Structure 1
Amino acid sequence: MMTQENNYALVFDIGSSGIKLCLGEKMDDALRILSVIKRPIGSEIRRGMVQKSQEVSLLLEDMLNELKASVDFDFEIDNIYVGINAYGMRSLPLQASFELNYERVVDDAVLDELFDEAMSNFNDQDDFDSRHTFVQEYVVDGFRTMNPAGEKPRKIDAYYKVVMGKNQIFRNLEAALDETSLQGKYHLELGVIASAVAVLSKEDKEKGVVVVDFGAETTGICVIKDDVVRHVAILPFGGQNITRDLTQIAGLSLQEAEALKIEKGNALHYTELMMRAKKENGRQLEFNGPDKEVNEIVVARIEEIVDNIWAQIRYAWSTPSTLANGIVITGGASRLRNLVNLLHQKTNLQVRQSSIEPEMAQVFGLMELAKENCISLLERQAEEETFVDEDLFAATEVETQQEEETQASVEPIIETPAATKQKEKREKPRTKNPVGGIKNGGNFFKDLFTSLTDDN
């Protein structure tokens, strides 16, 4: 038997080094994390793309079972939101034009026809599939607008950015999901968009900002200006490229190289670190031969990654200096020391680390993108009957009647987080985002009141 539904979010963050499954309860301006299940991943997923569908499906099902066992209530899964950040996914410009000759009013039908016309050009690419489209602007008789509805123009032009990827990216992931109990219940979302939702404020998105999500084998880039997604790209390298480079040293294993990267990795060259230390506090930093070798390997790779990021930003936005709120970095590999300083040196933009746990940003963003309630609570049936020996009581008729009335008023209680009394939700007016915009996630994650354990 199902109980009253609350607003629950259930998400899978599928990465190249690990998978996270998270269940949370969404409230006014906060999110209550109920359970997080994590699993490391190996060759089953490479550069964000599922390689071994059967192995991944077994792992996902095992995680779902563990999640159900980790909470103290029963539920059925209705929906789940799945993040994907696969190499090769990127945004492409599309355009369509209509001559209306002052005879038609621009309405939803006209806008749908414009979109279909633009997509007909994309659909010629048989090996690719589109999953996200963002309106950039409309031009109505030479005037730019984001809301042309109601106009009766001579001509209207529409400009879009469509996020596309090879069909195999989606087929492989869907094959893994379809082999689980989630068939027909999952919604695919672009991971870097989810990260942007989690880490950006409304001001960031209006003034212009770049989100860089440093993952294990991919780096996601999302450029947003005027509350519109302007560019998306997933690059084919990340933190594990640095780790693999370090295995060149004296036969280190991947685990040893990862530990070395965490302990000694730095995005700035040791000569600059020495000069900085002397200038800032008069200290003399010393680097021995092995430390120099480690530093040079790390710096060579991270500079290559940053150079590619900067090239994508300049390609997406011809005047990067107008992205007033600069760059926000997130993702597990963004923890590399002095990465903020290196990005600032290369781009001359202001750079900051996200205030949200880097490894969890995509998870939190996926939870906010979850528009549908994801689970239905189930009542637990009593496991055994409770018998009362009436001979033990010698109650008066009135006392017995009172006791029966009291017992009749008691309902079974399901010990779930939803059973706690919630504050009455205030009705708040909500500003509708312009077409092509993404929802502000800045305040949503301000008060996370369940602490999470860092990734191992």
Structure 2
Amino acid sequence: MADDHFIASVDIGSHKIVVLLAEENEGRLEIFGYARGDSAGVRKGVITNVDQAAKAIEKVKKEAVSKCKTKFSSVNINISDPNLVIFNQHPEVVVLTDKVTKENIEYVIEAAHSKVALANQHVLHSVVHNYILDKNPTTLQGVVIKNPIGQKANNLEANIHTVVTSDQCVKDIENSVCQGELGVSNIVPSSMASSEPYLTQEQKEQGVCVVDIGAEVIDLSVFKDGNIFYSTALQVGVEQVNEDISYAFNVDSKEAERLKKKYGQAQVKALTKDKLIKFQQEDDSKERYLSHQSLVKVIEESYLELFSLIRKKLNNEKLYRSLKAGFILTGGGAKIKDCDKLMFSCFKKRAKVGRVNTDLICIKPTLNFLDDDLLTPEYACALGLLLFDPDDIEFKQKQSNNKKRMFGKMRQKIGGRF
């Protein structure tokens, strides 16, 4: 296999690090390499100790190399910054020549950057969704076009979403990766990466919120009118559920995780019958019992608290009513039974756990060392990082007539097999 067919992603989480390797095969990406390990030096999605994070990344990288007998030198990697902001801008420029030029395009993009790039901030991406030629100042109407170069116009306006993050967060990610002898191809917001394996263009047009429930962070992405509109990271996650279980039943974190994984579900009313569950309290050798209903009640209340924070954030941004397509749940926290049903009852909007579009990305049939299902919501971010298209800083939906173009761009931009 040629080295330019190869894409690698690294998902840095608060509790785990995931490495995925993929190649193109007949118009879709096939995952042929995988490794997962414990995270370190990361708190609530943000790197707090570069050396610890670097060692954790390098360990998982070596495992991936060992498993699939493939070396890699550059990766797409995620960023989860609580201070990340998306600015929706409409810069414009007077076209002095007869037709729009490349220089006009560069000017409006630079104008967008200059308005938001403050001290200690880093412009991560600028997503240009469309341009407007000769907008009428009275009617606010004009010719909407994707590629205006060569078009006649007196005035050019751009519809740009600029993603700005902390300069320090970017430096810490780059330093952590570089210590493991890796290069960074692209840094992508976790919330944006987690969205793309699951969304259709129709959902983006209608208005949809992707909720990625991680261990210590909940990433939110809102799409409307077909484009990314808002993104943020809440500094709380499913670890809060474990803490609530620990407090309610006086158990340590390991026992709380076991109870949640084995018996957990999100709605008390979905229990068909109650039963006693054996458990062990912290610093107590005696076997004790709790009712299944009491456990689920604690879990339900904990999830409702998380959902209330999400609702508050969306209401503050005046986005809640625009979500006609509802919510898509991803992340490890979305795996608990009836999570989508609880969200529906809380928000009174459609909610479902995301399912990967396997026409776009799948697992290579010959991958014989797999110990987990990589297409579950837990791997949403790592999967989405594989789909990142750096050519136009957007993600691509699968289209039957543009598969070769889509993956051609990926091959030209991302590589590293040798």
TM-score scaled to structure 2, two decimals? 0.76
> In the TM superposition, what is the alpha-carbon distance from 1:49 to its structure 2 partner?
0.9
Aligned to 2:126: 133
Contact 2:12-2:39 within 8 A present in 1 as well? no
Contact 2:330-2:354 within 8 A present in 1 as well? yes
Aligned to 2:176: 176
Q: Provide Cα deviations, 1:402-433, integer angstroms capped at 9, x if missing partner.
A: xxxxxxxxxxxxxxxxxxxxxxxxxxxxxxxx
Q: Say if 2:32 is the partner of 1:37.
A: no
Contact 2:388-2:395 within 8 A present in 1 as well? no
Q: Distance between the aligned counterparts of 2:128 and 2:243, measured in 1?
A: 40
Q: Provide Cα deviations, 1:131-166, integer angstroms capped at 9, x if missing partner.
A: 122235544232252437155445444343222222
Summarize the Cα distance change of 1:83–1:441 in structure 2 as closer, same or farther, 3 Å threshold.
Answer: farther
Aligned to 1:12: 10
Contact 1:6-1:25 within 8 A present in 2 as well? no
Larger radius of gyration: 1
Q: Say if 2:48 is the partner of 1:51.
A: yes
Q: Distance between the aligned counterparts of 2:26 and 2:211, measured in 1?
A: 28
Q: Distance between the aligned counterparts of 1:17 and 1:442, measured in 2?
A: 35
Contact 2:129-2:146 within 8 A present in 1 as well? no
Summarize the Cα distance change of 1:214–1:245 in structure 2 as closer, same or farther, 3 Å threshold.
Answer: same
Aligned to 1:65: 62
Calculate percent identity across the aligned residue pairs.
19
Q: Distance between the aligned counterparts of 1:65 and 1:344, measured in 2?
A: 42
Q: Distance between the aligned counterparts of 1:229 and 1:173, measured in 2?
A: 23
Alignment of 1:137-148 (within 5 A): 137-139=130-132, 140-141=135-136, 142-143=140-141, 145-147=144-146
Summarize the Cα distance change of 1:342–1:136 in structure 2 as closer, same or farther, 3 Å threshold.
Answer: farther
Q: Say if 2:122 is the partner of 1:121.
A: no
Q: Distance between the aligned counterparts of 2:121 and 2:384, measured in 1?
A: 26
Q: Say if 2:387 is the partner of 1:368.
A: yes
Aligned to 1:105: 99
Contact 1:228-1:437 within 8 A present in 2 as well? no
Q: Distance between the aligned counterparts of 2:181 and 2:393, measured in 1?
A: 33
> In the TM superposition, what is the alpha-carbon distance from 1:251 to its structure 2 partner?
3.4
Q: Provide Cα deviations, 1:12-57, integer angstroms capped at 9, x if missing partner.
A: 1111110011222221244333221111125x11111111111221
- Consecutive unaligned residues in structure 2, runs of 5 or more: 277-288, 357-375, 404-418
Contact 2:73-2:181 within 8 A present in 1 as well? no
Contact 1:201-1:441 within 8 A present in 2 as well? no
Q: Distance between the aligned counterparts of 2:300 and 2:201, measured in 1?
A: 34
Alignment of 1:436-447 (within 5 A): 438-441=395-398
Summarize the Cα distance change of 1:205–1:438 in structure 2 as closer, same or farther, 3 Å threshold.
Answer: farther
Q: Match of 2:355, as an amino acid? A: S
Aligned residues: 363
Contact 2:81-2:166 within 8 A present in 1 as well? no
Q: Match of 1:98, as an amino acid? A: V
Q: Match of 2:167, as an amino acid? A: N
Q: Match of 2:242, as an amino acid? A: T
RMSD over equivalenced CA pairs, Å? 3.1
- Consecutive unaligned residues in structure 1, runs of 5 or more: 278-282, 373-434, 445-456
Summarize the Cα distance change of 1:147–1:442 in structure 2 as closer, same or farther, 3 Å threshold.
Answer: closer
* SS in structure 2 at match of 1:143: coil
TM-score scaled to structure 1, two decimals? 0.70
Match of 1:92 among 72, 87, 92: 87
Aligned to 1:244: 243
Structure 1, 208-217 or 105-114: larger mean CA deviation: 105-114
Q: Match of 1:20, as an amino acid? A: V
> In the TM superposition, what is the alpha-carbon distance from 1:261 to its structure 2 partner?
2.0
Q: Distance between the aligned counterparts of 1:32 and 1:226, measured in 2?
A: 30
> In the TM superposition, what is the alpha-carbon distance from 1:230 to its structure 2 partner?
1.3
* SS in structure 2 at match of 1:337: coil
* SS in structure 1 at match of 2:266: coil
Q: Provide Cα deviations, 1:232-254, integer angstroms capped at 9, x if missing partner.
A: 11111111121122221343211
Structure 1, 89-98 or 338-347: larger mean CA deviation: 89-98
Q: Distance between the aligned counterparts of 1:31 and 1:120, measured in 2?
A: 37
Q: Provide Cα deviations, 1:207-248, integer angstroms capped at 9, x if missing partner.
A: 432211111111111122343111111111111121122221
Summarize the Cα distance change of 1:318–1:215 in structure 2 as closer, same or farther, 3 Å threshold.
Answer: closer
> In the TM superposition, what is the alpha-carbon distance from 1:86 to its structure 2 partner?
3.3
Alignment of 1:71-82 (within 5 A): 71-72=68-69, 75-82=70-77
Q: Distance between the aligned counterparts of 1:225 and 1:438, measured in 2?
A: 15
* SS in structure 2 at match of 1:248: helix
* SS in structure 2 at match of 1:232: strand
Q: Provide Cα deviations, 1:382-419, integer angstroms capped at 9, x if missing partner.
A: xxxxxxxxxxxxxxxxxxxxxxxxxxxxxxxxxxxxxx
Q: Greater share of strand residues, 1 or 2?
A: 2
Q: Distance between the aligned counterparts of 1:146 and 1:351, measured in 2?
A: 33
* SS in structure 1 at match of 2:259: helix
Q: Distance between the aligned counterparts of 2:320 and 2:247, measured in 1?
A: 40
Aligned to 1:200: 199
> In the TM superposition, what is the alpha-carbon distance from 1:89 to its structure 2 partner?
2.2
